[in-house]
Copies of this chain bind each other. A is one copy, B any other.
Amino acid sequence: MKPLILITNDDGVDARGIRSLIDIARSYGEVVVMAPMCNASGSALSFTGMRPLRVETVSQESGCTIYACDGTPVDCVKIAQEHFCPRTPQLMLSGINHGSNASINILYSGTMGAVLEASMAGLQAVGFSLLDHSPDADFSPAEPYIRSVIDEVLHNGLPAQVSLNVNIPVPPDGQLRGMRVCRQSSARWADSYEKRVDPHGRPYFWLTGRFECDDNGPETDQWALENGYVSIVPTTPDHTDFRMLETMEKRIACLKF
């Protein structure tokens, strides 16, 4: 039987990036898409617990059914598995995201939130992002790399709870130089809120921000992307800082309650 592939994203079911990913995935097997009805960028791993969810069928063709859900990417992964997948998916793909999910952007990304969610649910999961925010970005140069990663994961699998964060740069000369396995760069968003006043004299605040990354050694995803390589970071949902365990044990041992 052909593999079942579950697809979601955070840019919404109509985004060009997810349509490109669907086209690629259809050549590998049966596809079920469950994606947010609207743009849900910056959803991280948020989920909907205080209201119910609605699901609409967008299209139904042989081997490819597309649903839209009025929840987050994590909601999409959760509800698709129980109610909309005919069997357990062999693979879960997310993206192709319009914009980078490298470095600390993984923490805010709904596209990668869905990937981490799927990996915790026991699925093989990969997220793809293109470093171009524009709605009409050209995803075609990324296709051979995306196919290689899908081939590789379908063939060799991933260990439990390990997923992949794949980012694809758009070099000035259009030439991708290859693929590198990397660690996640440390970075920060220098956020700034522009304070404005509404027509009734009340203040409101618009988020703007600048990405600042000094952690760009050759082993990092940021270096790879800046140098024309596709970056691939093996990711875990484990937030434990293992380097700190011993130190903290000593520090806590002195405490009195």
Q: Is the CB of A116 within 8 A of B122?
A: no
Q: Is the CB of A207 within 8 A of B48?
A: yes
Chain B neighbourhood of A207, CB < 8 A: 47-49, 52-53, 75, 78
**CB-contacts of A16-74 with B (<8 A):** 39, 41-50, 52-55, 72, 74
Residues of chain A whose beta carbon lies under 8 Å from any beta carbon of chain B:
39, 41-50, 52-55, 72, 74-75, 78-79, 81-83, 104, 106-108, 110, 113, 116, 120-122, 144-145, 148-149, 151-152, 156, 159, 161-162, 164-165, 176, 178-181, 183-184, 186-189, 191-193, 195-196, 202-207, 232-242, 244-245, 248-249, 251-252, 255-257
**Contacts A107-B237, A116-B107, A257-B178; A205 near B47 (Cβ below 8 A):** no
A178, B252: Cα distance in complex, Å: 10
Instruction: Quote the shortest CB–CB distance from A124 to chain B (angstroms).
Output: 13
A206, B241: Cα distance in complex, Å: 35
Q: Is the CB of A108 within 8 A of B45?
A: yes
Q: Which residue of B lies closest to A202 (CB)?
A: B54
Instruction: Quote the shortest CB–CB distance from A102 to chain B (angstroms).
Output: 11
One of B161, B184, B191 near A78 (C-beta < 8 A): B191
Q: Is the CB of B44 within 8 A of A113?
A: yes
Instruction: Quote the shortest CB–CB distance from A240 to chain B (angstroms).
Output: 4
Instruction: Quote the shortest CB–CB distance from A187 to chain B (angstroms).
Output: 8
Q: Is the CB of A186 within 8 A of B161?
A: yes
A156, B39: Cα distance in complex, Å: 43
Q: Is the CB of B191 within 8 A of A239?
A: no
Q: A42-B49, A45-B107 are in contact. List 19 more A-B contacts (CB 8 A).
A: A41-B50, A53-B193, A53-B204, A53-B205, A53-B207, A75-B207, A81-B191, A82-B192, A121-B188, A152-B251, A152-B252, A162-B244, A176-B257, A179-B255, A179-B257, A232-B252, A234-B245, A236-B239, A238-B241
